[in-house]
Amino acid sequence: MSTATDVASTEVTSNTAAPNTAPPDRPADPPTPARRRRWNWKKWRARLVVLLMIAAAVAGGTRLAEARTGAIAQFDLETVTLTAQPISVESRKTGQITAVNVAPLQKVTEGQRLGTILTSTTSAAGLERSKSVPLTAPADGIVSGEPLPVGSIVQPGVPFVQLYDPDQLTFDTTVRVEDLPRLSPGMTATLRADGLSRPVEAVIQRVVPRVVEPTSGRLPTSQDRLQLVLVPKRAADVTQLIPGLRFTGTVDTSTNAGTATDGLHISS
């Protein structure tokens, strides 16, 4: 009897056992993607403004430094005069001018007749003889001024007229002795004159020593002024200009820096 009861009890236990409620295996859920960062335009705009301000400050400082350096490198010149070495047309004998064949600023060639004079001589017998003598150009050039008029008396050593070579024009000015160390041959000057549409460039050539009387015993002082000679960089810029024309200008002392180390000297 007990055996049957045990079997029945076992069956009840088996039938009343809790079912397996574990969920079946399934794949894990994918990870949640990270939230995309929003573009912070205001922050980057502020950074950009700061960078632009820094760049502008650097550029401004550079320009200011360059301007200061450029100002230091500029040496102001006094009045500069376009000058020509005169070529005199003279007579070896005293005579009266009977003809004038040229006018101011006229181009002439070597050997060209510029005028005529009438000379008088006395023979061994005491007779007076007259002779026409032509006055010719000793070289190519341009008539720089008015020749002596007809009827004038010309004497040896007194020019009938003067010429100049347009390829030999120079610029003359004066500088103080104390300024010579700042200047050197080869430095470039920029010259301007009223009536000219563009400036003329010239190059420092030399300084002319000041002549002091030996008896005075005085040496040049720092306040003395010496003649500075410049030559045109391009002869074509001045061939149409008239000697005596006045200019103003500056010398760029930073030019020719390779040789401009010890300035100009007063040569003997």
Mean pLDDT for all residues in the chain: 79
Whether the pLDDT of residue 229 is over 90: the answer is yes
Domain total of the chain? 2
Residue range(s) defining the domain that contains residue 148: 87-164
Domain end among 164, 183, 213? 164
pLDDT of 56 reads 64
Residue the block writes with tokens 């030399």: 206
- Tens digit of each residue's pLDDT (9 = 90 or more) over 72-85: 689 999 999 999 99
Average pLDDT over residues 179-199: 94
pLDDT of 12 reads 43
- Tens digit of each residue's pLDDT (9 = 90 or more) over 48-73: 766 777 766 666 554 544 445 445 68
pTM for the structure as a whole: 0.62
Of the candidates 163, 148, 142, 157, the one whose C-alpha atom is nearest the C-alpha of residue 98 is: 148
| Residue 234 maps to a domain | yes
Average pLDDT over residues 119-139: 88
Looking at the structure, tell me whether residues 80 and 92 fall in a common domain.
no
Looking at the structure, tell me whether residues 175 and 247 fall in a common domain.
yes
pLDDT band at 28 (very low <50, low <70, confident <90, very high): low
pLDDT of 239 reads 87
pLDDT of 255 reads 86
Whether the pLDDT of residue 122 is over 60: the answer is yes
Q: Can you give the CATH number for the domain in which 121 is found?
A: 2.40.50.100
pLDDT above 90 coverage of the chain, percent? 52
pLDDT of 258 reads 45
Instruction: Give 9-62 as a DSSP string.
Output: HHHHHHHTSPP--PPPP-PPPPPPPPPPPPP-HHHHHHHHHHHHHHHHHHHHHH
pLDDT of 51 reads 72
Q: Is 110 exposed, middle or buried (0-12, 13-18, 19+ CB in 10 A)?
A: exposed
Long-range contacts for 33-37 (Cβ within 8 Å, ≥24 apart)? Answer: none
pLDDT of 238 reads 92
Looking at the structure, tell me whether residues 211 and 234 fall in a common domain.
yes
pLDDT of 212 reads 54
Strand 188-192 and strand 141-143: the pairing is unpaired
Instruction: Give 157-169 as a DSSP string.
Output: TS-SEEEE-GGG-
| Residue 221 maps to a domain | yes
